[in-house]
Structure 1
């Protein structure tokens, strides 16, 4: 079944923990729904509770986490749904995995926020645990995060509100998701 008036697409939000991926994802889903588009979110934390429960945080497991998420998003987007993915996606190699699986359906969004601001926003206390060495392989502290080399859009959550970033995202993709045929 193809949904009327929209094209399936995967909007892949990436960035450090605390950068604003989930907040923007939630706002973006609301904006899409209010505009008459049907969307679905895939969140890294939620995927790790279910489909990816058996994966750790080694580089191989992180790559497999992204591969499974991209394959899942591809199935959903192939049915005309707009899929909003929120995954840290720390390495350019991980992004290449997603791009190769999703092809032209992939729209990469880097949620750019300085590490010190992400640490200030840390409601879960993860950065503190990472600094105290009680949380191993934490992206940005004891595990690498590579800046994306070719994102389709960069949202600066340190300079703009989540609502402003959501508007920037919507304006960047609205013509790509609308099926005017």
Structure 2
């Protein structure tokens, strides 16, 4: 195995404290890996157990900052740690956030597909649970936003500004 100028082995994998493979490269605001020596944005810690209200508030802050990849990680934590009956809600929200991530990266097909899949999952969960505003979220508005952005992404064929196009999880501000 060779090594890089930073002393890293080119064949070695980054590992966490428990020996699991983890990519330690810095990331940009959309979660794309940067060179090891680059200055990235702070990574979202994984495996954090939050209340649903904390998850919604933290994810909204990340979305507002143009960091949908990081919001997706918050939703993923809620999906993995929350009650079984809410897993599809949080999974759909994670898919919507990663769909926005792909759209902001210029991946038209993947972005539109994930936005629609996430919106469909959220819509299906709301229909099955009979809840349209869990934890203050406006699921009807979020579904419409996801599908509308998917249409815009396909029609425009380019990247979107993740911060400017971020959804309002609790509804549009008057």
Report the TM-score when normalising by structure 2.
0.29
More strand by share: 1
Greater relative contact order (CA < 8 Å, ≥ 6 in sequence): 1
